[in-house]
Amino acid sequence: MIDAVVWDIGRVLIEYDPVRFFTGAVGPDRTKALFDTVDLESYNLRSDAGEPLRDTMAEAAADHPDFANEIGMFWDHWIDMASPEIPGSVRLLVTLKQRGIPVLALSNFGRETFDIACARYPFLTTFDRAYISAHLGQIKPNPDFYETLERDSGYAPSRLLFTDDKPENIATAAARGWQTHLFQGPDGWADCLLAHGLLNHEDIQ
Q: Running along the chain, 205 residues long, what does each successive block of 10 average in pLDDT? A: 98 98 98 98 96 97 98 96 97 97 98 97 97 98 98 98 98 98 98 96 81
- The predicted pLDDT at position 201 comes to 87
- The predicted pLDDT at position 203 comes to 82
CA distance 67 to 38: 8
- In tens, the pLDDT along 181-190 reads 999 999 999 9
- The predicted pLDDT at position 205 comes to 72
42, with CB counted inside 10 A (0-12, 13-18, 19+), is exposed
Distances (CA, A) of 180 to 29, 86, 97, 123, 150: 38, 20, 19, 22, 15
Give the global pTM.
Answer: 0.97
End-to-end CA distance of the chain: 23
Which DSSP helix (H) or strand (E) runs through 76? helix 68-76
- In tens, the pLDDT along 32-53 reads 999 999 999 999 999 999 999 9
- The predicted pLDDT at position 204 comes to 76
Q: Are 176 and 157 in contact (CB under 8 A)?
A: yes
